[in-house]
A and B are shown apart, each in its own frame.
Chain A
Amino acid sequence: MALTGVAVGMKVHIQIVEGYRSKSMELRLVRRRKSSNTDRNPLKPATGSLFPVYISTDPQHINPHELRDLYTTCNHSCHRFPNLIDSNGQVEPVDLRKLNVALSHSAVLVSVFCKTHNIVGDGDDNLTPSINSSSLSFMGLTDLLQRVTPVTPFNGQLVGFGRAISDYGLTASIYDVMVIPSLRRMGIGKMIVKRIVRMLTDRDIYDIAALCSKNERLFFKACGFASDMLGSTTMMYTRTTSTTQEDDQNISRAGRKLLLVPPLRGVRKSPSSIP
């Protein structure tokens, strides 16, 4: 892997400044959805195969490099208005240093791992993770061991992630829920969101928000989220130009948006108040 070249000279660690720590050794089974291919073996069962995934809430199970790759694979950006680097809509990679900062300040971090051989068999139900007798002779002992040992964060690949920010008292917001494309529609994303919500409600936080784009709306709806019943409007800061032509406009870049930094208003000393 070329990651060592990238990592030289850069600190890669997650220092937990705040956050919830909890028991996190949990294996779950997910069922692969049946493929829509018509040339399916009619003798095979209609539902897909079961395979285990490992869901963890332990921040130490997350390798920031792997996580950044996951962001790229899922084409997810930390910026709401990301820079696109090519015509296919691929977003620019996540800044590793900022990602580390974000991870260390997230209240909840959920990661899902699964064995590599389970991922490659996507879309083809005839390949089950169980060992075929015909292929046994070609399989070495290490492969066999790899198939039967339980998946852990250390021998599995990161396939899903979700995080939440909270003030540990009243509110929380969920961000960056993602699952690699080949393992979607299996309930993994829902598992991630439910785990995040459970960790928050266990700490008595019930005001949980999630910002979602149009594509994600149905997903969150299925996880039990809805538009605010009190009728509040979601608003984001998007001002890029000033209505008044002021010199020295201070600009801050956020993805593809160049946001205008509000000027510092001076101290006023007058008989009347600020207009």
Chain B
Amino acid sequence: MLTLNAAPPSSFSSFSIAPFDVNYQVCSQLFVPGNLNYWSARASRKLKNFQLKAGFWESIKSGLVKNNTTQVIDPPTTDEEDEEPLPQEFVLVEKSEPDGTIEQIIFSSGGDIDVYDLQALCDKVGWPRRPLPKLAAALKNSYMVASLYSVRKSPGSEGNEQKRLIGMARATSDHAFNATIWDVLVDPGYQGQGLGKSLVEKLIRALLQRDIGNITLFADSQVVEFYRNLGFEPDPEGIKGMFWYPKY
């Protein structure tokens, strides 16, 4: 592993000559895995142009980087990237109905949510519609997505399971200091049972365990009390959130 900092900062720009067998995992050139971001295709095209105009050492390095395109970014020794969102799924509550049907409410994190199901859920709670591709991108690139499913099993031998999305919460983060919780919603038919509370609590727990201390959210007026009970404080020490409003 090449460490760039072996030289004093003044030589940060002039890369010292490195032996060619060194593993160039260090990002002296941009390194964007193709599957991570659909803007990366455009970015890597721009990267190629940039490389053509770059200097002598850059062209040598780019040759090295091309050989490593399939490599994972982080070496296993650092524990930066072992913070995959907990891919857990567990039963939160199990209810048995008089006719023998069992309904389980399952908490899931890290699983994929169907955007159509999510769109339907947002409609149910009365939220305005948002473009589906944007919604899908937002889900894919959120640091954590926690969801609640209701699974109904009828007592028959078939055991046809009905799985429905009934709640979701997601958080974006820089993986180190700040996180913002967006889009917390629970199906109106399942509200009032503490499900929303456990969704948010699990998100907070997961974030704090990764040492992410600034957890923020923007609450509508009717849910301020809900979050206050969960340990959130409105405008702490005068910190306010402002939003961008373009003036035409």
Contacts and interface: CB of A to CB of B under 8 A. Distances in A.
A236 B5 contact: no
B67 interface: no
Nearest to A171: B182
Given A16-B31, A101-B80, A233-B218, A209 B242 contact: yes
A79 B198 contact: no
B114 interface: no
A254 B178 CA distance: 10
Q: Which of A21, A208, A212 has the most CB of B within 10 A?
A: A21
Interface residues of B, number: 100
A191 interface: no
Contacts of A81: 236-237
A142 interface: no
Contacts, number: 322
Nearest to A197: B244
A257 B237 contact: no
B8 interface: yes
A78 to B, nearest CB: 4
B134 interface: yes
A35 B232 CA distance: 44
A203 B133 CA distance: 13
A259 B208 contact: yes
Interface residues of A, number: 101
Given A13-B3, A170-B130, A234-B241, A60 B27 contact: yes
Contacts of B141: 18, 166-169
B9 A63 contact: yes
A81 B202 CA distance: 23
A66 interface: yes
A199 B192 CA distance: 41
Interface in B193-236: 193-195, 198, 201-202, 204-205, 208-209, 211, 213-221, 224, 227-228, 230-236
A72 B170 CA distance: 32
Interface string A224-250: 111111111111111100000000000
Interface stretch (A120-128, A130-138, A267-275): A267-275
Nearest to B37: A18
Contact of B213 (A211, A229, A252): A252
A237 B232 contact: yes
Given A105-B176, A270-B94, A237 B243 contact: no
A224 B248 CA distance: 11
A274 B198 CA distance: 10
B62 interface: no
B92 interface: yes
Interface of B: 1, 3-9, 12-14, 25-33, 36-37, 39, 43, 46-47, 73-74, 78, 80, 90-96, 105, 130, 133-142, 170, 172-178, 180, 182, 193-195, 198, 201-202, 204-205, 208-209, 211, 213-221, 224, 227-228, 230-247
14 contacts: A7-B5, A16-B32, A78-B176, A100-B80, A101-B80, A167-B182, A170-B137, A173-B216, A213-B237, A228-B242, A232-B241, A234-B234, A236-B236, A269-B94
Given A63-B12, A211-B214, A235-B217, 20 more contacts: A3-B8, A16-B31, A18-B37, A19-B32, A101-B174, A102-B178, A105-B173, A167-B138, A168-B37, A171-B138, A224-B244, A224-B245, A233-B234, A234-B219, A235-B235, A236-B217, A237-B232, A252-B209, A261-B204, A262-B205
Interface of A: 1, 3-4, 7, 10-23, 59-60, 63, 65-66, 78-81, 97-102, 104-106, 153-154, 163, 165-171, 173, 175, 197, 201, 203-204, 206-214, 217, 220-221, 224-239, 252-255, 257, 259-265, 267-275
